Structure 1
Amino acid sequence: MTRPRLAVVGNPENRRVTMFLDAAATRGLPTPRVLSWYEVITAGGARFGADEVVRLDSPGENAAVDALLRGPGAPTRIADGPRWYAALVGATATLRGGRLLTDPGELGVLFDKRLCHERLVNDGVPVPFSPTSGAGAPAPACWGDVRELARSSGLRRFFVKPAHGSSAAGVVAVETASGGRVQARSSVELAADGVHNSLRVRRVTGEAEVGALIDALAGECLHIEAWLPKPTAGGRAADLRVVVVAGRATHAVLRTSTHPMTNLHLGGSRGDLAAAMAAFDSGGFGWERALSVAERAAAAFPRTLCVGVDLLPAADWRGAAVGEVNAFGDLLPGLTGLPGRADGLNTYEAQLSALDEWTDSAAA
């Protein structure tokens, strides 16, 4: 095994970076060179040696970096997503040299839900239907637009998401019924100084209230997609985060929740993965086939070493679709790999283990 010269662009104090450094130490690799996003952005770029292998990590959870990308304001605010997106994509374009483990062009697609959805559809990956998929799709500018797009598409239950958001920030799960009744669930909070993301998912009822929520988010380039029924595990809604490394699913977490967003930081919890595997198998779809759906989604981004795929099992476990593909979806502390795929390795160790073969194939 060769000993690559590793570098990482991230927020040095963040556990994503420190866990990657720990993984390198565990595998006996030299300590990676760390460049902060703050340094890269303020310096107008960074240069790497031809022999450096460069990991790009999340710019999140750092107020100074967020202010550079999004502009000043409270870290909890949901605002200026298009500015954040353009600044992040622009920053990755200033990186020179080295072999990047996340392709900047693919990063731009991964952080635009409309483009990501379109790419998955074009590659034959099953996804929830969306009337806003693709760069040329209609961009709803208000609740009235959202309501009409959903109605004309036959959607009575749907998600409204900021196109450039992550971690369910700004996501609204909407349900409509006969007679014009509308309700929604979201962690979004409206305040005098704007729209904020909280850690508590609340129910909002009534056309006026839901409309006000959507209108407040309308500047974020909204994406609409069907809300697919989820199976239950222990009486809770369930889906999976599957980490795919070098084209192979290596880690999986069953996420369960009492509300539509299963993100662990919003009160979701890790469920019984073995039970989910058995449910796929007993339903006839098969666990390995479910993993292959996640791998097909990752294959749409062949120049990116690792992605986290949100896999949506059918309500009867007899199928699976892909909700989202996450560029920085590998933060799963305490989780070791799937048997026969990444035995005993955490997500960072699995990536380092796959590095030699992947960099050779990527260079071919």
Structure 2
Amino acid sequence: MLNVVLIANPETRRVELFQQALTRAGLPAAELVPYEELLAGRCFLDEWDTPHLWFRFDAPERNFAVDRAFIAAGAEVHDTGQHQRIGAIAAYQLPADKGRILYPRQWYLGWRQRLREWARQIHGNVFSHPEDIIMMFDKIQCQRILANHSIPTPHSLTHHLSILSYEHLREQMDAQDCQRVFVKLAHGSSASGVVAYERRNHLERAITTVERVVEQGELRFYNSRKIRQYSDPYEIADIINFLLNESAQVEAWMPKARLEGREFDARVVVIGGKARQVVLRVGNSPMTNLHLGNDRREVSALPKALSSEYWQKMLYTCEQAAACFPHSFYCGIDLLIAPNLRDHYILELNAFGDLLQGITWQGWDTYTTEIAMLLEQI
């Protein structure tokens, strides 16, 4: 009998869907361990030690108390970066400020530190090993791993060096003959801290989810579902300098294939080494994330000019990308299909990219597929 310990924030939809999948499989409900309890030291993962035990870490999202605890944990970690820093006590006292991008590098350092501690406590198996989660949560490191395994990825301007500032970015764009780039917060999720930046002649433009706000002389940055455009170089410099200081992946802004007159890409969920559920994301902006108001389509809506042979090659590339993280049973992969419907690139891997509501494979949602395929393999 499969027994699951689920580490998650109880209020998230993910918990409900995963528990439903266990019920459908005739399995007992997962024992839920809230991140908040673990972080407060009120429980430890080595308390669970029974046969056929599997631990599942899920996204630590939608809970500001948990965010504060990870930021506080990051204060303990030495790091040479130029990111903003805050002490542990002050981190616990941070006031809620909806959407504000707060200490993302320090949050990641705390997340990494705690995941490694929890990994040492585990007696049993894991759906995704903490070290794999750590690597996928760092876009710079993740893209380097993919490139080193000959997985097609957009040209990275940060593959061999760190870009330190807005001016340094402009210099590197000139040196590497790249007029359009994506600047992505290395530890962001759900398109947080993403900028599509382009320069043409003496003009420049940034399309972004970042809202730049100045209040009482303080410069703040917020994650917004409303896509914004900036053309003032000083405002663009503020945003890009903030992201680079917090650690950012910089890569070529690649053209995408079109569907219904708009650009699209695909989220592919690889489970047990096989590409399963796929959702097409049809974009109204360079960022195609569905929560930004973009449209979803079933895989059956792929352009008819995309041959079955090339589509299978693309899915195989997704499987090869997932194989770079062999201790993860599942992950979500963002797949860019080029306008020629042949070339393709892996944009990102998401350790918790399996939340695809309403998208099925052979009638199963992602969570049901994960449970069924795991039972086949153990």
The question of a shared fold, defined as TM-score above 0.5 by the shorter chain, is answered with yes
TM-score by length of 2: 0.88
Q: Distance in 1 between matches of 2:299 and 2:273?
A: 21
Write out per-residue CA displacement over residues 321-355 of structure 1, whole angstroms, 9 at most, x where no aligned residue: 10000000011111111xxxxx1110000110111
Q: Distance in 2 between matches of 1:357 and 1:94?
A: 30
Q: Distance in 1 between matches of 2:275 and 2:304?
A: 17
Q: Structure 1 residue 186 and structure 2 residue 208: aligned?
A: yes
Displacement, 1:45?
A: 4.1
Displacement, 1:272?
A: 4.8
Q: Distance in 1 between matches of 2:102 and 2:245?
A: 8
The answer (yes or no) to whether the contact 1:82–1:220 under 8 Å persists in 2 is yes
Displacement, 1:88?
A: 1.1
Secondary structure in structure 1 of the residue aligned to 2:306: helix
Q: Distance in 2 between matches of 1:61 and 1:150?
A: 36
Runs of at least 5 residues in structure 1 that lack an aligned partner in the other structure: 338-342
Q: 1:218 to 1:319 in 2, by over 3 A?
A: closer
Write out per-residue CA displacement over residues 51-84 of structure 1, whole angstroms, 9 at most, x where no aligned residue: 3101110001111111111332424111311111
Identity %: 35
Q: 1:216 to 1:28 in 2, by over 3 A?
A: same
Name the structure 2 match of 1:340: none
Q: Structure 1 residue 312 and structure 2 residue 340: aligned?
A: no
Q: Structure 1 residue 163 and structure 2 residue 182: aligned?
A: no
Displacement, 1:273?
A: 2.3
TM-score by length of 1: 0.91
Q: Distance in 2 between matches of 1:49 and 1:320?
A: 44
Q: Distance in 2 between matches of 1:64 and 1:279?
A: 49
Secondary structure in structure 2 of the residue aligned to 1:286: helix
Name the structure 1 match of 2:64: 63
Name the structure 2 match of 1:21: 19
Which of 92, 95, 116 is residue 142 of structure 2 equivalent to?
Answer: 116
The answer (yes or no) to whether the contact 1:159–1:227 under 8 Å persists in 2 is yes
The answer (yes or no) to whether the contact 2:268–2:335 under 8 Å persists in 1 is yes
The answer (yes or no) to whether the contact 1:66–1:75 under 8 Å persists in 2 is no
Which of 236, 250, 253 is residue 227 of structure 1 equivalent to?
Answer: 253
Letter of the structure 2 residue corresponding to residue 60 of structure 1: E
Q: Distance in 2 between matches of 1:88 and 1:50?
A: 26
Displacement, 1:357?
A: 4.2
Name the structure 1 match of 2:153: 127
Name the structure 2 match of 1:348: 367
Name the structure 1 match of 2:291: 265
Name the structure 1 match of 2:326: 302
Deviates more, 1:184-193 or 1:105-114: 184-193
Write out per-residue CA displacement over residues 206-241 of structure 1, whole angstroms, 9 at most, x where no aligned residue: 322321221233331121001110111111110000
- RMSD between superposed Cα atoms in Å: 1.6
Displacement, 1:49?
A: 1.5
Deviates more, 1:204-213 or 1:343-352: 204-213
Q: Distance in 2 between matches of 1:290 and 1:77?
A: 36
Runs of at least 5 residues in structure 2 that lack an aligned partner in the other structure: 72-90
Name the structure 2 match of 1:217: 243
Q: Distance in 1 between matches of 2:249 and 2:375?
A: 37
Q: Structure 1 residue 252 and structure 2 residue 278: aligned?
A: yes
Secondary structure in structure 1 of the residue aligned to 2:107: helix
Write out per-residue CA displacement over residues 178-208 of structure 1, whole angstroms, 9 at most, x where no aligned residue: 2x21101001011235111011001111322
Q: Distance in 2 between matches of 1:277 and 1:292?
A: 19
Deviates more, 1:29-38 or 1:145-154: 145-154
Q: Distance in 2 between matches of 1:75 and 1:59?
A: 16
Q: Distance in 2 between matches of 1:131 and 1:348?
A: 36
Displacement, 1:267?
A: 1.3
